[in-house]
Structure 1
Amino acid sequence: MQTTTPPTVRGLLGEPVLRLIPRLTGRALDTAIDWVHSSDLTDPTPFLAGDTMLLTTGTQFPPEDDDDYYRAYVDRLVDAGVVALGFGLEVIREGTPLPLVEACAAREVTLVEVPYEIPFIALIRWVADRITARERERDAWTLRAQRAVSVAALTSGTLPAVARALAEQVAGAVVILSSTGEVVLEERAVAVDVAALGEEGRRILARGSRASVDVALPGWHGFATAQTLGPRGSLRGAMGVAGAGRNDVAMQAVVTSAVAIAEVLLRYGDSERHLEQRLGSVIVRLLLDGQVGGAAAVAGEFRDDLPEALRVGILVPEPDVTSAARARLVDGIVRGRVAFVDDRGDRIVFVIEADEVESLVEVAGRSAAFDGVAVGLSAVLAPVEAPAGLAQAARVLSQNPGPGVTVFGESAGGLLDDLWSPAAENLAQKRLAVLADEAGDLVACSRVWLAHNGHWESAAREAGLHRHTLKARIARVGSLLGLDLDEFAGRAELWALLEASRA
């Protein structure tokens, strides 16, 4: 990105017009010099910044060589971050004091001698000109990089094109995450492991407020940073950038411009997604009404064909969830997969491809938006079976109301879940309706009694009844349902009715 090399002592020594004399190579021969300062103070350190080259004529040095004085002097310079020392010859002394040379050698300070006829201002001007040239070059790069990113946005209007242009300009990589922490895209101009950027992006997204943090990437010698996209309370995602060199003002200007463009594109994408969601809602309703042909026609015009094998899901957000959090839930469902969502009322109903269960579980486990959220999924069904899928998803949620993803047929219901259907539920509810008008909660008593495997003492104790009272109520249940509850078959049928009815 820059062709002008930074000013160094090696560069000064290589400038013929300066005719500097190397006395000690030291350890800072190739260290970039931020500035050159001249001073004959005994302690100039209050006026020095880091990576400074100090020039002196030695006026402050004692007439008699004092090893302790020179050691203390050099120690102060090293502690202040002086990268090199230049001694002006024949102004006060004919040569550099030997104790000064020895003190510099002991601390590995780079030491050069400046001929009498070379003014200190010549060295200062050479370094200043080199710094100015680099700053101008950096400014020019900033403008070119910002223009390249802007052109990518204007010509393609897509987030991948902007990310690709940014990665090329910073000579690194860019990763963009959705609001739920999924990696939307990765663009690399060079090989770099951006996994840590993704992890940090998910961490700051979970906080819910705008943030920008530096990230350490293994094996990467440049900079890396992750920051959120979108306003506080309605974050649209996060962007991670790894680039060559330092994250200086110029680099920050380029990255900030790219972030602003990305946020505009995401807002534009939000509008498109809102339209897609409305059409997706229509598709879900048509499927649940059994109008598969209409749903397929809308899906074909919309984005994707209806999957041949699908699952119906129900997601129940927390009661006080914000609209922005609901939007992140919907985004987590549809991002990167064929999915249609109907976001209404206190639940979100959706249809996904049958093989998307693992990816949905992964998103739910990784995204803070899904914390405390219960998701129920149907078994694998054909589109024509979508109404049954809704009933299956509702059933599995009633059985497992806790957070996480639960799939119909894979829960504790076992074989009964496989045999269950809305028709079986309706039949069971009608059979059990005769118990509703009886004294005592016969359904609850039946469940407690069956849970204790017909043991009267323990069941009565849990129900808070005398065992004879419980026996009378269970006998009444058998009489009303026409079941012999002294036999296993009768007890099994009662249990099946209770399970199928969700009573």
Structure 2
Amino acid sequence: MQPPTVRGLLAEPPLRLRVRLDGDGRDTAIDWVHSSDLVDPTPFLTGDTMLLTTGTQFPADDDAAFYGSYADRLLDAGVVALGFGLEVIREGTPPSLVDACDARGITLVEVPYEVPFIALIRWVADRIAARDRERDAWTLAAQRAVSLSALTAGTLEAVVQTLADQVSGAVVILSPSGETVVEVHSAAVDLGALADEGRRILRRGTRASADVTLPEWLGFATVQTLGPRGALRGAIGIAGAGRHDVATQAVVTGAVAIVEVLLRYGDAERRLERRLGGVLVRLLLDGHLAGAGAAAAEFGSKIPDALRIAVVPLPAGVADAERDRLLDELTREGLAFADSSAERVVAVVPAAATDAFSRAVAGSATLAALPVGLSAVLAPAEASTGLAQAVRALDQDPDAGVHVFGDSAAGLLDDLWSPAAENLARRRLGVLVGEPGELVDCARLWLDHNGHWESAAREAGLHRHTLKARIARIGTLLELDLDSFAGRAELWALLQASRA
């Protein structure tokens, strides 16, 4: 129902009102009608009131200054229109009152003597009551629709879509980090400013809400955090048609409560999924393939036939919330199973999801700033080898980004590398440990200089004869002829395989 207005009053034949001045309030919604013959009735008026008077308070002479001050007070109080009762005190509306209202754009109507003021008041009151009943009915219907969407579909997307439909607008849900989780529209409205305000209040870390002005949107827009202080689960932004009145707020409040329940339920599911993922990763790395497959099947999942192992080292002192967020990003949309420790996250990535996994890393502000080691494609039984390969890829390139085992400059040596080869190389090089002269470092430096004595000795800060003596000692201990290509190649392979 449309709100009561002066235009509506004028359209009622029994009231027989006459327009003296159209003014600016003819189509403004009237919140109430009040009658007063006080010189200054404004202390008893609220905004958007229509004032009725018989003019008892007006002076006998046509005092333009008095009427000007009177009209100013009405204008400042937000009076929608002034109704003057004819033939009660005066035969007509005072000309100076007409002039004062005309100069200030105040709508002025004349009420015939036969029409009691209470008739106007009752007409407006009846329509306000009908509008309130209509809003109450809308509130109940909207709350019921939102509740039914939660009971039937049971998803966050369904609930926020229903809310957007009910408020004839749009809704956006943000994650605790400010990423858009869900955005739905029942009307064309740009939610950019609303999402930006949501991210701003999320950074404060406390419960908060704010009203936002959106470009080219005449309705309301509001955003508020979700979840308790210190453990915010995100934020919800709502843009709706019309005013953000008590009825709308009741629907929004009910919907927000349902959204928070769904988020808590989703948090519990994600925690369970993360725990399951951690168990599966540990079973695979320990070689319990049958147990991992049985556990995955119990929860409706499956160990991929071809997989990669990813390792993400965590920054020192990383907060639990940040670790949880990182795990969520790694395992989103079933991209991976993941297990987290204090130092690193280990994930099992289906080989078919390698490109999607790389895109997820690149698209995450948190992950993109960290190095990620990724093994070659392996069978599930080779998961422990994949872990070693991923760690080796990180050792070879500790910079941010995804580093795939076998993609380094080492080429063939990487493809031939295995944990067994590393153990063998370490055992062979173990005879150099404890010998004077840091023989392992000297060997690598000498090979880096392609066996050139002068440049290698200069970088090491040694005399070339001293360096020659140390290299000869290395050859003796390893039983290698380092004057030959084959001996030098074997020494280089041992150093590469051992990561020394």
Verify same fold: TM over 0.5. Answer: yes
Q: Where does the alignment leave 5 or more consecutive residues of structure 1 unmatched?
A: none
1:35 maps to a residue whose letter is W
Distance 1:371 1:9, change over 3 A: farther
Whether 1:275 aligns to 2:285 is no
Q: Residue 476 of structure 1: which of 456, 470, 481 is its match?
A: 470
Q: Residue 144 of structure 1: which of 117, 141, 147 is its match?
A: 141
- For 1:35 and 1:138, the matched residues in 2 are separated by 18
1:264 maps to a residue whose letter is V
- For 2:286 and 2:190, the matched residues in 1 are separated by 48
Distance 1:78 1:221, change over 3 A: same
Task: Kindly state the Cα deviation for residue 419 of structure 1 after the two structures are TM-superposed.
Answer: 4.3
SS in 1 for 2:80: strand
Partner residue of 1:129? 126
After superposition, residues 95-110 of structure 1 pair within 5 angstroms as 95-110=92-107
SS in 2 for 1:228: strand
- For 2:179 and 2:205, the matched residues in 1 are separated by 16
Task: Kindly state the Cα deviation for residue 29 of structure 1 after the two structures are TM-superposed.
Answer: 1.4
Task: Kindly state the Cα deviation for residue 145 of structure 1 after the two structures are TM-superposed.
Answer: 1.9
- For 1:413 and 1:103, the matched residues in 2 are separated by 89
Partner residue of 2:87? 90
Task: Kindly state the Cα deviation for residue 34 of structure 1 after the two structures are TM-superposed.
Answer: 2.0
2:94 maps to a residue whose letter is P
Task: Kindly state the Cα deviation for residue 284 of structure 1 after the two structures are TM-superposed.
Answer: 1.7
When Rg is computed on C-alpha atoms for both structures, the one with the higher figure is 2
CA RMSD of aligned residues (A): 3.9
Partner residue of 1:33? 30
1:361 maps to a residue whose letter is V
Give deviations 1:298-338, integer Å, cap 9, x for gaps: 43443444445544222344444444443333222223333
Structure 1 stretch displaced more, 128-137 or 392-401: 392-401
Whether 1:118 aligns to 2:118 is no
Q: Where does the alignment leave 5 or more consecutive residues of structure 2 unmatched?
A: none
Partner residue of 2:370? 374
Distance 1:297 1:57, change over 3 A: same
Distance 1:60 1:181, change over 3 A: same
2:13 maps to a residue whose letter is P
Distance 1:12 1:450, change over 3 A: farther
- For 1:16 and 1:130, the matched residues in 2 are separated by 16
- For 2:26 and 2:430, the matched residues in 1 are separated by 93
- For 2:67 and 2:445, the matched residues in 1 are separated by 93
- For 2:210 and 2:25, the matched residues in 1 are separated by 31
Task: Kindly state the Cα deviation for residue 184 of structure 1 after the two structures are TM-superposed.
Answer: 3.8
- For 1:471 and 1:491, the matched residues in 2 are separated by 19
Distance 1:371 1:297, change over 3 A: closer
SS in 2 for 1:360: helix
Q: TM-score, normalised by structure 2?
A: 0.82
- For 1:348 and 1:374, the matched residues in 2 are separated by 11
After superposition, residues 238-249 of structure 1 pair within 5 angstroms as 238-249=235-246
Give deviations 1:261-311, integer Å, cap 9, x for gaps: 222233233333333223222322233345556545543443444445544
* Percent of aligned positions that are identical: 62
Task: Kindly state the Cα deviation for residue 191 of structure 1 after the two structures are TM-superposed.
Answer: 4.2
- For 1:433 and 1:473, the matched residues in 2 are separated by 20
Task: Kindly state the Cα deviation for residue 237 of structure 1 after the two structures are TM-superposed.
Answer: 3.4
Contact 1:409-1:415 within 8 A present in 2 as well: no
- For 1:118 and 1:455, the matched residues in 2 are separated by 115
1:476 maps to a residue whose letter is R
Task: Kindly state the Cα deviation for residue 500 of structure 1 after the two structures are TM-superposed.
Answer: 5.2
Give deviations 1:441-476, integer Å, cap 9, x for gaps: 55567778889999999999998xxx3379836852
Contact 1:376-1:394 within 8 A present in 2 as well: no
After superposition, residues 54-453 of structure 1 pair within 5 angstroms as 54-290=51-287, 295-307=292-304, 310-352=307-349, 353-362=353-362, 364-365=364-365, 370=366, 374-379=370-375, 381-384=377-380, 385-398=382-395, 404-408=400-404, 415=411, 419=415, 421-423=417-419, 425-439=422-436, 441=438
- For 1:470 and 1:100, the matched residues in 2 are separated by 112
Contact 2:439-2:474 within 8 A present in 1 as well: no
Distance 1:218 1:474, change over 3 A: farther
- For 1:76 and 1:105, the matched residues in 2 are separated by 14
Distance 1:64 1:110, change over 3 A: same
Task: Kindly state the Cα deviation for residue 58 of structure 1 after the two structures are TM-superposed.
Answer: 3.0
* Relative contact order higher in (CA < 8 Å, ≥ 6 apart): 1
- For 2:248 and 2:136, the matched residues in 1 are separated by 10
